Amino acid sequence: MVAQLNTLLRVACEHVCPVPPVAGAVCAVRRRAAALLADWSVSPEIVEDSLLVVSELVTNAILHARPPAELRLSWVSDDRGGTLRVEVTDGGPAYAAGQTLAGVDPDEHGRGEAIVHALATRHGLRVHSGGITRWAELVTP
């Protein structure tokens, strides 16, 4: 009976949106993500960190990867809290190893991965035939 009750109390939401390969897309995608997290009643304890993770992963896809890119958000909640999964899939590296984006100040970039690792409960990378998916999960405390 308890297992059935836990199943009934579990709520799952998912949303996928394309990420246009333009710099202004980060703000638009972040706003869309914020609205979704509010609609899903995501725990306030992880909302700001989640939006920062979304921004970092989307920025990485726009600056360093080939299009197309898409953001997938998944929220699973139950009576103990919840887990938000952020995934950004892109077409793979846009530049050869060691090649950098012209005109990008290295002092202004290069910290996104460290930020994601610091904020996420779990994170990773999946290479597949369609490109690369970078993901992070944030779990309510």
pTM of the model: 0.83
Beta strand ranges found along the chain (DSSP E)? 11-19, 69-78, 81-90, 122-128, 131-139
Where are the alpha helices (H) located in 10-111, listed in sequence order?
Answer: 25-39, 44-64
Determine the pLDDT at residue 2: 46
Which residue ranges make up each domain of the chain? 10-93+109-139
> What is the per-residue pLDDT across 93-137, written as a single tens digit (0 to 9) for each?
887 655 555 555 555 556 788 999 999 999 999 999 989 999 999
The CATH code of domain 10-93+109-139 reads 3.30.565.10
Q: Of 4 and 18, which is predicted with more confidence?
A: 18
- Side by side, which strands form the sheet with 69-78? 11-19, 69-78, 81-90, 131-139, 122-128
> What is the per-residue pLDDT across 36-90, written as a single tens digit (0 to 9) for each?
999 999 999 999 999 999 999 999 999 989 999 999 999 999 888 899 999 999 9
